[in-house]
């Protein structure tokens, strides 16, 4: 706003019927679908990487990746119900 940049024309698509593959006026990048994807996106964002102390960012990312790995190592109730036949 301070630089008075032109944001471009408004986005006037119906979000319910919007097809990103058919869009010609706007490029849509989907949000990450999992924690690993979000961490990869964080590390790829120069603005955010520059905003954080590198040691803090490294500890944050390493900690979250370790949590994700611990989570993936667990057998969930859904998996037990789905794959184990109790009959």
Mean pLDDT in consecutive groups of 10 residues from the start of the chain, 87 residues: 83 71 72 95 96 96 96 92 77
DSSP 10-39: -----TTT--GGG-SS----PPPSSHHHHH
Residue 25: per-residue pLDDT: 67
The answer for residues whose C-beta is within 8 angstroms of residue 34's C-beta and 6 or more apart is: 68
Question: Among all chains, which residue has been given the structure tokens 């994807």?
Answer: 37
Quick one: tokens of 11? 């986005």
Residue 12: per-residue pLDDT: 72
């Amino acid at each position: 706003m301070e630089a008075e940049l032109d944001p471009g024309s408004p986005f006037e698509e119906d979000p319910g019927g919007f097809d990103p593959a058919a869009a010609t006026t706007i490029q849509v990048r989907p949000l990450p679908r999992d924690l690993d994807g979000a961490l990869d996106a964080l590390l790829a964002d120069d603005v955010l990487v520059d905003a954080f102390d590198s040691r803090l960012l490294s500890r944050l990312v390493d900690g979250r990746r370790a949590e994700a790995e611990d989570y993936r190592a667990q057998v969930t109730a859904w998996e037990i119900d789905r794959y184990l036949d109790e009959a």
